[in-house]
A and B are shown apart, each in its own frame.
Chain A
Amino acid sequence: MTTQTTLPVDTETLTALSKSKQEPAWLTESRTKALELAGQLELPKVEKTRIDRWNLQNYGSYKQSGLIKSVDELPESVRNLIQANENSNLIVQRNSSVVFTKLSEDLKGKGVIFTDLETAVREHGDLVKAHLFTAVKADENKVTALHVALWNGGVFLYVPKNVEVDVPLQAVFFNDDASATFAPHVLLIADSNSRVTYVDNYLSNGTNGELVHNGIVEVFVKSGAKVQYATVHAMSEQTTELTYRRAVLDNDANIEWIVGEMNNGNTMSDTHSLLKGNGSNSDTKVIAVGSGSQKLNYTTRANHFGKSSESQMITRAVMREEASAIINGITKIEKGATKANGEQTEKVLMLSPKARGDANPILLIDEDDVKAGHAASVGQVNVEQIYYLMSRGISREEAERLVIYGFLAPVVSEIPLELLQNQLQTLVEGKLGQ
């Protein structure tokens, strides 16, 4: 059966909006074609999760937010996430559009481009056009098609050849109006032998209604480049999130994904590395906490095409109350990817009898000369461990806290950015009701 979602916008309105934003013809066409596809395509098939039962109607309509001069004008919840000083590099999107952009003179001088994607389309059209929607394509499913039709604001980050950026660049995407379309697109290109760390935060509150966040991230890591991509999601209970993150790696390229899934609403996310180049390397770390009656589906994927390419994927999820999580790890090694090595681990810790977790490790291997491994576990808090800690005078609550943090620690302690570690710590505490 075709799911009869009414499309959130019609072609005329979409075209008019694109024109009013002075978008080039190729982009207007890309949007309208995608809208047509969205009307034909099905929702993605997501392992053991009926996303067709989720509330996916609330795309709202495009609403431009006014630019701000200083981060002081941002709500406190946003200001808490950023470290603003003269050297900071920051983009803030509010609802449908970017309201604040700052790039240090130093990085500008080195040729780094860090701007909202709508501006990049106008100012760096060729570079954007050559990459945009080539990693994640409109015709994959209804969700990607709708994103391509509706995307707004967003981030464009380009790091030129041989440029090494020492400070993290940050973006914050926040929504406080459910009637505004919220579909940021991140496009990151790290040219040959460059190095960059990018961190972003997603949050929503005070939206006054249900909201869909349909986001896509595309990362292109050229030969010998290294990208560290950290993303923390803390959207409200009224926000349903659908996110695709995908990186394409050339020879000896390197990506490290760090994902904090701390949303309060239903979430489907898919974090995927395409290891096209020989000697490319992908490392994915996901920590997640589910609460309330959240339905969650997290997928990590690594596709090996390059020889001697390596991938590691770790997901650790804690589910409390009635939250349920389906966690998929898919390592695929293509024919010809000799000496490739893919390792994955998924673990779920359930804190209540009604919480549910399901880990599905999948290895698909079409080449003989490879190494690959997986491990998965799903379990309750161990009563012997709690007894042991309590026998030393530690209260049950504190004992449980130690065990839960201990469970997440192997991932959290590996996070190379202190600011992010602290943020995640605070979010985890909040989600665990402590």
Chain B
Amino acid sequence: MSTKFVIEGLKSTIEGKEILKGINLEIKGGEIHAIMGPNGTGKSTLASTLMGHPKYEVTAGKVTLNDEDVLEMAVDERARAGLFLAMQYPSEIAGVTNSDFLRSAINARREEGNEISLIKFIRQMESKMKELEMNPEFAHRYLNEGFSGGEKKRNEILQMMLLEPKIVILDEIDSGLDIDALKIVANGVNAMRSEERGFLIITHYQRLLNYVKPDFVHVMMQGRIVKSGGPELAERLEAEGYDWVKEELGIVDETVGQEA
């Protein structure tokens, strides 16, 4: 069955403040959607809400992945159902090596007694690390501990590659990356494009989209998707900024949930 991820009327709050005010979006396998928008418009909240971050509370709406109710699932169940979020600020976990963590994550998807063999796992991990031009030493370092911003982002992409999710959400994966690292990350994403897999790329810059061509571009403001289009929309936003969108829609303050 080809992948279908549907978000309908999704609203969510943090500490009682409503941030998402009704998001509608459908992502099919093979499609790449980009969500763009200035800071503070709810983009990362959308990513965290979809993954099930404990701080966000869903107050309305529906999310399904291949007709399964995502919002009913715990965070780990969402991941095993095929959802993956490359986080903007990945946690650092001392004492847990990157490779132990990755192996636990892979085995979490497998039946007990059918765990991946150590040799096979190492072979897979090493080949993906090579693709991402990561120092092999990172396998034995503690998870994200002391990693630079760029190293953390590559590590997120490494996880995506090893876990082979159905729906990939990249939350500001391009922030803090220099141009070389950006290309490597983009290559990693492109290598994972497939008819079975959908992408939701959250960014406020066009530059990643030069390397990963989106099929659909959405602009988010005030906790809603206010405009959608094709790749040409991203180009216009890069060239002209967001003011014309605000003008067109009569929006004065595009942010959401911020104290005046």
CB within 8 Å of B: which residues of A?
Answer: 382-385, 387-396, 398-399, 402-403, 405-410
Q: 9 closest Cβ contacts across the A-B interface? A: A406-B95, A409-B95, A393-B79, A388-B91, A392-B105, A390-B75, A406-B96, A393-B108, A390-B76
Is the contact region of chain A dominated by helix, strand, or loop, or is it mixed? helix
CB-CB < 8 A to A408: which residues of B?
95
CB-CB < 8 A to B90: which residues of A?
388
CB-CB < 8 A to A395: which residues of B?
76, 108
Q: Quick check: B54 and A383 within 8 Å, CB to CB?
A: yes
User: Which residue of chain A has the shortest Cβ distance to B165 in the bound complex?
Assistant: A393
Q: Is B94 an interface residue (CB 8 A)?
A: yes
Q: Complex Cα distance A396/B51, Å?
A: 15
CB-CB < 8 A to A391: which residues of B?
51-52, 75-76, 78-79, 84-85, 87
CB-CB < 8 A to B87: which residues of A?
388, 391
Across the interface, A402 reaches (CB within 8 A) one of B53, B74, B80, B104, namely B104
Give min CB distance, A31 to chain B, whole Å: 47
Q: Complex Cα distance A398/B74, Å?
A: 14
Q: Quick check: A385 and B95 within 8 Å, CB to CB?
A: no
Q: Quick check: B163 and A393 within 8 Å, CB to CB?
A: yes
Q: Complex Cα distance A390/B93, Å?
A: 13
Q: Complex Cα distance A405/B97, Å?
A: 11
Q: Complex Cα distance A128/B80, Å?
A: 64
Contact status of A403 and B53, CB under 8 A, knowing A392-B159, A396-B76:
no
Q: Quick check: A388 and B54 within 8 Å, CB to CB?
A: no
Q: Is B101 an interface residue (CB 8 A)?
A: yes
- 22 A-B pairs in the complex with CB atoms less than 8 angstroms apart: A385-B91, A387-B52, A387-B53, A387-B91, A388-B91, A389-B93, A389-B104, A390-B74, A390-B76, A391-B75, A391-B76, A391-B84, A391-B85, A393-B108, A393-B109, A393-B163, A396-B74, A396-B76, A398-B104, A402-B93, A406-B96, A409-B94
CB under 8 Å from chain A, chain B span 175-230: none
Q: Complex Cα distance A154/B54, Å?
A: 54
Central interface residue in A387, A398, A410, by most chain B CB within 10 Å:
A387
User: Which residue of chain B has the shortest Cβ distance to A408 in the bound complex?
Assistant: B95
User: Which residue of chain B has the shortest Cβ distance to A411 in the bound complex?
Assistant: B95
Q: Complex Cα distance A383/B101, Å?
A: 17
Across the interface, A406 reaches (CB within 8 A) one of B76, B84, B93, B163, namely B93
Contact status of A406 and B94, CB under 8 A, knowing A392-B159, A392-B163:
yes
Q: Quick check: A394 and B108 within 8 Å, CB to CB?
A: yes
Chain B 52-69, CB-CB to A under 8 Å as 1, else 0, gives 111000000000000000
Give min CB distance, B105 to chain A, whole Å: 4
Q: Is B100 an interface residue (CB 8 A)?
A: yes
Central interface residue in A384, A390, A399, A410, by most chain B CB within 10 Å:
A390
Q: Quick check: B54 and A387 within 8 Å, CB to CB?
A: yes
Give min CB distance, B78 to chain A, whole Å: 8
User: Which residue of chain A has the shortest Cβ distance to B51 in the bound complex?
Assistant: A391
Q: Is B138 an interface residue (CB 8 A)?
A: no
Contact status of A402 and B96, CB under 8 A, knowing A391-B85, A394-B76, A395-B108:
yes
Q: Quick check: B79 and A405 within 8 Å, CB to CB?
A: no
Give min CB distance, B196 to chain A, whole Å: 17
User: Which residue of chain B has the shortest Cβ distance to A406 in the bound complex?
Assistant: B95
User: Which residue of chain B has the shortest Cβ distance to A407 in the bound complex?
Assistant: B95
CB-CB < 8 A to B84: which residues of A?
391-392
Q: Complex Cα distance A432/B148, Å?
A: 34
Q: Complex Cα distance A394/B84, Å?
A: 12
Q: Is B121 an interface residue (CB 8 A)?
A: no
Q: Complex Cα distance A434/B93, Å?
A: 21
Q: Quick check: B101 and A402 within 8 Å, CB to CB?
A: yes
Q: Complex Cα distance A409/B51, Å?
A: 29
Q: Quick check: B93 and A394 within 8 Å, CB to CB?
A: no
Give min CB distance, A178 to chain B, whole Å: 38
Central interface residue in B54, B91, B95, by most chain A CB within 10 Å:
B95
User: Which residue of chain B has the shortest Cβ distance to A401 in the bound complex?
Assistant: B104
Q: Quick check: A393 and B105 within 8 Å, CB to CB?
A: yes
User: Which residue of chain A has the shortest Cβ distance to B160 in the bound complex?
Assistant: A392
Q: Quick check: B104 and A405 within 8 Å, CB to CB?
A: no
CB-CB < 8 A to A390: which residues of B?
74-76, 79
User: Which residue of chain A has the shortest Cβ distance to B92 in the bound complex?
Assistant: A385
User: Which residue of chain A has the shortest Cβ distance to B91 in the bound complex?
Assistant: A388
Q: Complex Cα distance A2/B37, Å?
A: 73
Q: Quick check: A403 and B109 within 8 Å, CB to CB?
A: no
Q: Is B142 an interface residue (CB 8 A)?
A: yes
Q: Quick check: B93 and A387 within 8 Å, CB to CB?
A: no
Q: Quick check: A389 and B101 within 8 Å, CB to CB?
A: yes
Q: Quick check: A405 and B74 within 8 Å, CB to CB?
A: no
CB under 8 Å from chain A, chain B span 99-139: 100-101, 104-105, 108-109
CB-CB < 8 A to A407: which residues of B?
94-95
User: Which residue of chain A has the shortest Cβ distance to B82 in the bound complex?
Assistant: A393
Q: Quick check: B93 and A392 within 8 Å, CB to CB?
A: no
Q: Quick check: B94 and A392 within 8 Å, CB to CB?
A: no
CB-CB < 8 A to A409: which residues of B?
94-96
CB-CB < 8 A to A399: which residues of B?
76
User: Which residue of chain A has the shortest Cβ distance to B100 in the bound complex?
Assistant: A402
Q: Complex Cα distance A280/B37, Å?
A: 62
CB-CB < 8 A to B54: which residues of A?
383, 387
Q: Quick check: A385 and B93 within 8 Å, CB to CB?
A: yes
Q: Quick check: A410 and B94 within 8 Å, CB to CB?
A: yes
Contact status of A398 and B108, CB under 8 A, knowing A391-B75, A392-B79, A406-B142:
yes
Give min CB distance, A332 to chain B, whole Å: 29
Q: Apart from A388-B87, A391-B85, A406-B94, list 16 A-B contacts with CB within 8 A.
A: A384-B91, A387-B53, A389-B101, A389-B105, A390-B75, A392-B84, A392-B105, A393-B76, A393-B105, A398-B108, A399-B76, A402-B100, A406-B96, A407-B95, A408-B95, A410-B94
Give min CB distance, A387 to chain B, whole Å: 6
Q: Quick check: B105 and A405 within 8 Å, CB to CB?
A: no
Q: Complex Cα distance A384/B144, Å?
A: 13
Q: Quick check: B91 and A382 within 8 Å, CB to CB?
A: yes
User: Which residue of chain A has the shortest Cβ distance to B142 in the bound complex?
Assistant: A406
Q: Quick check: A405 and B96 within 8 Å, CB to CB?
A: yes
CB-CB < 8 A to A389: which residues of B?
91, 93, 101, 104-105
Q: Complex Cα distance A141/B126, Å?
A: 60
CB-CB < 8 A to B75: which residues of A?
387, 390-391
